[in-house]
Amino acid sequence: MLRIRLSRLGATHRPFYRFVVSDSRKRPSATAVDTLGFYDPTKKPAVLKLDVAKAEEWISKGAVPTERVSAFIKRIKKSQKATA
């Protein structure tokens, strides 16, 4: 099964994450099927870039987002509605 999840990059105490689509049976750091965006919590304010349309396309194909990724998708949709 495919999952949409965060893959941690960066140095010790300097986390940087990518939103990736990967096989749920493999480690998050394994080769990803697709990269959807990134999240950098070390910046003030935190930088979050996620291609929601691409994520929804993968969800329609059967990929399951983790709880954390679902929360980010909801946050982005909410902010897009507020600005529209």
**Rounded to two decimals, what is the model's pTM?**
0.88
Cα–Cα distance for residue pair 64/25, rounded to 1 Å = 13
Q: What is the pLDDT of residue 82?
A: 83
What is the distance between the alpha carbons of residues 33 and 3, in angstroms, rounded to a whole number? 10
pLDDT of residue 81: 84
Least confident segment among 1-5, 28-32, 58-62: 28-32
DSSP 45: S
- Residue 84 clears pLDDT 80, i.e. is over it: no
3-state secondary structure of 62: coil
pLDDT band at 30 (very low <50, low <70, confident <90, very high): confident
What would the pLDDT profile of 33-79 be if each residue is shown by its tens digit? 999 999 999 999 999 999 999 999 999 999 999 999 999 999 999 98
* Exposure string for 42-65, b = 16+ CB within 10 A, e = fewer: eeeeeebebeeebbeebbeeebeb
**Domains of the chain by start residue, with CATH:** 2-83 (3.30.1320.10)
